[in-house]
Amino acid sequence: MSTPGKIHVGGQDLELPVIEGTEGEKAVDISALRGTTKYITLDQGYGNTGSCTSKITFIDGEKGILHYRGYSIEELCEKATFVEVCYLLIHDKLPTQAELDEFNELLDKYSLVHEAMLHLINHFPYDAHPMNVMGCLVQALSSFYPGVDAKSKTEHINLTAARLIAKTRAFAALAYRKSKGFPLVYPNKGEDYGSNFLRMMFDTPVKHYEPDPDMVKAMNILLILHADHEQNCSTSTVRLVGSSHANLYASVASGIAALWGPLHGGANQSVMEMLQNIKDKGLGIEQVINKAKDKDDPFRLMGFGHRVYKNFDPRARIIKDLCRKILLKNANSDPLLDLAIELEDKVLADDYFIERKLYPNVDFYSGLLYRAMGFPVNMFTPIFTVGRMPGWIAHWKEMVSEPGGKIGRPRQIYTGYTNRSYPDISERK
Ligand code: SDX
């Protein structure tokens, strides 16, 4: 425990406990503040407010560090598979070979989609956004596989975790296939998770699709990079919904809804639309940058800036290198990649962005890589969802295992009308 924090508020001198994390982060514990002073704190967007302690992911935004359960993202991308990272996040350890084999067995088994759910998806319009389809299907799982909530035994939660990781991949591929009128493709037993995802997306009965090993490696790295990111908007949503003891399916379905937003996981789709628009309209880079700096213009440079990273997003670095490798391998350059690199160079040299520490984030290059791998733009955020599912599950599981866990219920400062009497309708204006 560090030296207590001293504050003077409401005419009182207060000592508040300070807690320190294992990486040296410090927080003033204000849980006694309102009871002692009647004051609350106010922090729009929670930029200065911690909602919990967690052992899952550590980010140092100033140094551009990202660790899952103590392992660096760089080492995990180089040495692990996405399934091992799923196991690590959910079980707090890397799996032994026996544990990995058992986990993979479950993922194969749970990849089957209940036939009644296939009928469910047939009632969506063909051009429904796949995030909408995935959110509905994940929510519907609690009708097909009921009973996993905060009081469930760990074994039941772990089985449900495997079911969700398997089904989310199937739902993402299914949403795409249905939009094209293609039949569902089931995964090959025992094949790598990422390789099966590519097969489930692109295989057809009349033209065999064999995933390229470099594409499979890229798929694993992309899913690992998106697997968790501590208390981001969607993960905080999962924790808040789960804190009411809503079941695990409903909680992660709320995470899908939050991730869909263009300021969050939807940014990878918005980045591509922004780059395509610049190219199609022949807009100048300077013109676009000035538009993003104009306070009277709501336009923002999608793929730049981050609440936590005030340095390079380490994920963006890894994806940028991967992007170049995949494009070079396929000997096809992508004019949007050239445009993205030119835009990045100009932005990183511009005082407005330097002063505000706005760097490319994970979404800036991911879309270019997804495009090089053959994914349509509206599948970019669904892939983010497949990647982030283990992180959401790990945080839900950590939260429901907290002794004395409480329902999340923030306060507010009321700024509306003070008490007034009810006017008869004849008196209203
Ligand atoms: C993800 O939280 C996570 O961890 C998220 C994520 C994850 O893995 O879960 O990393 C995934 O969501 C990445 C972010 C993807 N979103 C985008 O790329 C959308 C574009 N970025 C911005 O909308 C913005 O940067 C946010 C939303 C990402 C962060 O916003 P903040 O932290 O609330 O920052 P802010 O709005 O307070 O901006 C600070 C200043 C403002 O200018 P001033 O008022 O100080 O003059 O920076 C400006 C902003 O106008 N600014 C931008 C900008 N981002 C911030 N100006 C132009 N273009 C931008 N992209």
DSSP string of 133-194? Answer: HHHHHHHHHHHHS---STTS-HHHHHHHHHHHHHHHHHHHHHHHHHHHTPPP-PPPTTS-HH
* pLDDT tens for each residue of 340-395: 989 999 999 999 999 999 999 999 999 989 998 999 999 999 999 999 999 999 99
Q: Indicate whether 338 pLDDT > 80.
A: yes
What's the confidence (pLDDT) of residue 109? Answer: 94
pLDDT band at residue 1 under the 50/70/90 scheme: low
* pLDDT tens for each residue of 144-179: 997 788 788 888 999 999 999 999 999 999 999 999
Lowest mean pLDDT among 88-97, 287-296, 323-332: 323-332
* pLDDT above 70 as % of the chain: 99
In ligand 1, the atom with minimum distance to the C-alpha of 313 is 10
Q: In the predicted model, what is the mean pLDDT of residues 40-54?
A: 96
Q: In the predicted model, what is the mean pLDDT of residues 122-127?
A: 94
In ligand 1, the atom with minimum distance to the C-alpha of 307 is 32
Q: In the predicted model, what is the mean pLDDT of residues 71-80?
A: 98
Q: Indicate whether 331 pLDDT > 70.
A: no
What's the confidence (pLDDT) of residue 13? Answer: 92
Asked if residue 343 lies in contact with residue 359, where contact means CB atoms within 8 angstroms, the answer is: no
Return the number of other C-beta atoms located less than 10 Å from residue 131's C-beta: 25
**H helix runs in 282-408, sequence order:** 285-293, 314-329, 335-348, 351-355, 362-372, 380-401
In ligand 1, the atom with minimum distance to the C-alpha of 228 is 8
What's the confidence (pLDDT) of residue 311? Answer: 87
The helix (run of H) or strand (run of E) holding residue 103 is helix 97-109
CB-ligand 1 contact for 302 (6 Å cutoff): yes
What's the confidence (pLDDT) of residue 147? Answer: 74
Q: How many CA atoms lie within 13 A of 251 on its CB side?
A: 30
352: its two tokens: 């407005």
What's the confidence (pLDDT) of residue 3? Answer: 75
- pTM assigned to the model: 0.95
Burial class (CB in 10 A: 0-12, 13-18, 19+), 276: middle
Choose one of 57, 65, 264 to mutate for the ligand 1 pocket test, by most ligand atoms within 8 angstroms of C-beta: 264
Q: Please state, in angstroms and rounded to a whole number, the distance separating the CA atoms of residues 110 and 187.
A: 11
CB-ligand 1 contact for 362 (6 Å cutoff): yes
Q: In the predicted model, what is the mean pLDDT of residues 209-222?
A: 95
Q: In the predicted model, what is the mean pLDDT of residues 83-88?
A: 98
Task: Please tell me the residue having the least CA distance from ligand 1 atom 54.
Answer: 305
Mean pLDDT value across the chain: 94
Task: Please tell me the residue having the least CA distance from ligand 1 atom 32.
Answer: 307
Instruction: Specify the DSSP class assigned to residue 306.
Output: -
Q: Indicate whether 2 pLDDT > 80.
A: no
Contacts of 391 (CB under 8 A, 6+ apart): 56, 57, 89, 227, 228, 229, 235
The helix (run of H) or strand (run of E) holding residue 235 is helix 233-242
- Least Cα distance to 13 among 5, 21, 1 occurs for 5
CB-ligand 1 contact for 361 (6 Å cutoff): yes
